[in-house]
Amino acid sequence: MSSPKAGKDIQNLIAIMAALRTPQTGCPWDLEQSFETIAPYTIEEAYEVIDAIERGDMVDLKDELGDLLLQVVFYARIAEEAQLFAFPDVVEAITKKLIRRHPHVFGDLNAHSPQEVKMLWDDIKAQEKAERRTARKAAGYVDSEASKSVLAGVPEALPALTRAEKIQSKASKVGFDWNDPLLVLDKIEEETAEIKDAMASGSKAEITEEVGDLLFAVVNLARHLKVDPEQALRLANSKFTKRFNYIEAELDVKNKPIKNATLDEMEALWHEAKTRV
């Protein structure tokens, strides 16, 4: 249960946001914002939360979570001004969803493993999707044919690797999937060969398409191996950065600018870095 102080702190935050958005007396920058202009900041703040977690920096994590919470309060304030909904409605919606999606905790159903919970969630989400479609129709929204697809509900704004994994997972639920990771490896080899053909053709559009197909196949392999492709690539980026920084540091000790180093020198330091960082 939350403490009375937590509730008071939230109310203070909501009041501060309201003050920032008050015409004449508020902040010009905050007053100028809309759902659309804030959206990029929301994505940025979410990544900063992930960055703090991966660095194990709990001081930064506390601050970054506050920044992410501010995004929710900001959106809710803009919606309240437009008489769409308000912060309490957001809290009510997620509270109901948590209770509805955990009947094994708040109801009389049983789920003794994460796998059983996932099966419950799939059924509940299907019911929610049907109810949401009815509610949207009553509100005057017209669903497109694409919104009725098995693949609907995967936001286009997601990072491409994450979106690819979610699209593949949805297709997998209706049986459209490889049944063996080794078959996905075969597909990766096939896509690599097609890139070579595209390179021979010299067509930029064809090369781009084939590289995309290769990346999509690699995400498929990661999914079959139960590896988060986005996290795997972030770890690879971090590893590369650390090793490249080692090369720079070692060259700096020798008073040699990296732009003056030969590929052989950098390669030797790279292999050295692999044993140290």
Please write the tens of the pLDDT for every residue from 131-189: 887 887 888 877 666 567 888 888 888 889 999 999 999 999 899 999 999 999 999 99
Question: Which residue is it, tokens 């501010």?
Answer: 70
Quick count: other Cβ atoms within 10 Å of Cβ 171?
A: 14
pLDDT tops 80 at residue 6: no
Kindly report the backbone phi and psi dihedral angles of residue 42, in degrees, each rounded to the nearest multiple of 5, phi listed first. Answer: -65, -45
pLDDT of residue 123: 87
DSSP-assigned letters across all residues of 216-261: HHHHHHHHHTT--HHHHHHHHHHHHHHHHHHHHHHHHHTT--GGGS
Please compute the mean of the pLDDT values over residues 11-20 and round it to a whole number.
Answer: 97
Residues 213-238: tens digit of each pLDDT:
999 999 999 999 999 998 899 899 99
Q: Which of 32, 30, 29, 46 is nearest to 157 (CA)?
A: 46
Q: What is the mean pLDDT of the chain?
A: 92
In whole angstroms, what is the distance from residue 221 CA to residue 225 CA? 6
Q: Which two tokens stand for residue 140?
A: 């005057």
Radius of gyration for the chain, computed over Cα atoms and rounded to the nearest angstrom: 25
In whole angstroms, what is the distance from residue 90 CA to residue 75 CA? 10
Using a pLDDT cut of 70, give the percent of the chain over it.
Answer: 97
pLDDT band of residue 272 (cuts 50, 70, 90) is very high
pTM value > 0.85: no
242 Cβ neighbours under 8 A, 6+ residues apart: 273, 277
118 Cβ neighbours under 8 A, 6+ residues apart: none
Residues 234-267: tens digit of each pLDDT:
899 999 999 999 999 999 999 999 999 999 999 9
Please compute the mean of the pLDDT values over residues 180-207 and round it to a whole number.
Answer: 96
pLDDT of residue 136: 79
Residue pair 88/66 in contact (Cβ under 8 Å)? The answer is no
Q: Which of residues 138 and 11 earns the better pLDDT score?
A: 11
Please compute the mean of the pLDDT values over residues 107-122 and round it to a whole number.
Answer: 88
In whole angstroms, what is the distance from residue 240 CA to residue 246 CA? 10
